[in-house]
Structure 1
Amino acid sequence: MTKVNLRVQQREATQASLLQAALEVFSEKGFDGASTREIAALAGAHNALIKYHFSSKDALWRAAVAFLFERQAKELAMPRHDDPVHADFRAYARAVIRAVVLYYAKHPEHARLMVQESMRDNDRLNWAADTFIVDISRVSGKFIEMCKREGILPDVSTPALVYIFVGAAQTFYALAPEVRRVWNIDPADPDVIEAHAEALVKVLVR
């Protein structure tokens, strides 16, 4: 491996560590409550590296959100409804629901970060919505519309059903500390995740 390639790998590794740390801190404390010093410390890096790699706290937030949605696109491999592996549309719908639940179980910081920012009507939300959320919501809407046509879901507001579906899939993990305290179960436990996925499947797939 050449020195140039090694430097590139080290740079990418540092950026990835800073981005993951940023996701965790921003998701816990919001943009205003988060500090770049805390993010750098969590990543095991010097605070000056944030300015070097991302120029500002706002730029770091946007890079972290881009990293978040790019990761979602890679990891949340949605099954095709015409894949012969599915016996019928209901089997396909169950597979979609399980895939979404498993993604949010693995990455609870996704919902936490977006809830933190989605409550505020500001430039960061507008940028995230225009760049990522609108397209993802359209994909979710198409899935809901197919479920309505198949008689799986009632013929009611599609936006309402999208938020019911997404909220039910992610809130259990976004509020994990509360779940542990109130119900004495761990949302990260594989058996608990499976039970949650099964519950949501049975609620949504009639």
Structure 2
Amino acid sequence: MTTSSPKRPAARHAGKSVPAAKSLGGPNLREQQKEATRAAILQAALLIFSEHGYNGASTRDIAAQAGVHHALIKYYYQSKDLLWRAAVSFLFERQTRELMLQAPTGPMTRAARREAARAALRRYVLYCARHPEHARLMVQESVRDSARLQWATEHFISRASHAAEAFVRALQKDGLLPPASSPALVYIIVGAAQSFYTLAPEVRRVWNLDPGDETVMNAHIDALLAVFIR
């Protein structure tokens, strides 16, 4: 025999009833859950797109990776193309939050500016280590020189690349980098930072090293800094 639970009375505040379903002083729990679901879908999309390319990825695989029902993909994003664009937007927005690559400015000694530059590059390498799907996804689209790459370039990549060039030029001005082509130096540094994690399966097979191991990661960062900023 079952009995129904009594309805919870509405909370009262200052003589007025307040719906009990609302939590005071914080975001609505349902909205938090929706955002968490969207984030899980977008991260899963980044992983699947980066591993299989756009044509080889399926929304069913993405749903399975995210641990959600396939219907949610269509509910939130309507098509695979819109999902790809949302995932790339999520990727670059996260990069902006996690990584502020700025050259040291202001009245600082050269030694202090050198250490600030080293710290900025360390943050960038750690970003690459946390998110190897970033470089893998860009390689997938660059190889195909796709319309999606053009869209990503117009909306995100150009701005990020020019910020990296400004960083390089500032370090060149301080004598911390050689007077070489700044776009070339951007790609040399980016490649050195990314490839160790983008090619992690190869690193494991060839060197029996795990790029995700903290000791291995720190050794890679120290080597990179020793080459670029002494």
Q: TM-score, normalised by structure 2?
A: 0.84
**Residue of structure 1 in register with 2:29 after alignment:** 6
Q: Considering only aligned residues, what root-mean-square deviation do their CA atoms show, in Å?
A: 1.9
From 29, 35, 40, the equivalent of 1:17 is 40
**Residue of structure 2 in register with 1:196 after alignment:** 220
The offset of 1:153, in angstroms, is 1.6
Contact 1:79 1:95 in 2 (8 A): no
Structure number with the bigger relative contact order (C-alpha 8 A, sep ≥ 6) is 1
Q: Tell me which moved more, 72-81 or 128-137.
A: 72-81
In terms of fraction of residues, the more helix-rich structure is 1
- 1:23 is matched by which residue type in structure 2? L
**4+ residue runs of structure 1 moved beyond 3 angstroms?**
77-80, 82-87
Runs (5+) with no aligned partner, structure 2: 1-20
Contact 2:99 2:124 in 1 (8 A): yes
From 76, 79, 82, the equivalent of 1:53 is 76
Question: How many residues are paired up?
Answer: 206
Matched, 1:67 2:72: no
Contact 1:22 1:61 in 2 (8 A): yes
**Residue of structure 1 in register with 2:67 after alignment:** 44
The offset of 1:99, in angstroms, is 0.8
- CA distance in 2: counterparts of 1:204 and 1:99, whole angstroms: 15
Runs (5+) with no aligned partner, structure 1: none
**Residue of structure 2 in register with 1:155 after alignment:** 179
Does the C-alpha gap of structure 1 residues 82 and 147 become closer, same or farther in structure 2, counting only changes over 3 Å? closer
Does the C-alpha gap of structure 1 residues 86 and 16 become closer, same or farther in structure 2, counting only changes over 3 Å? farther
What whole-Å deviation, never above 9, does each CA across 1:48-68 have from its counterpart, x for those lacking one? 111110010000001001101
Q: TM-score, normalised by structure 1?
A: 0.94
Larger Rg: 2
- CA distance in 2: counterparts of 1:20 and 1:2, whole angstroms: 29
**Residue of structure 1 in register with 2:130 after alignment:** 106
The offset of 1:105, in angstroms, is 0.7
Identity %: 58
The offset of 1:88, in angstroms, is 2.2
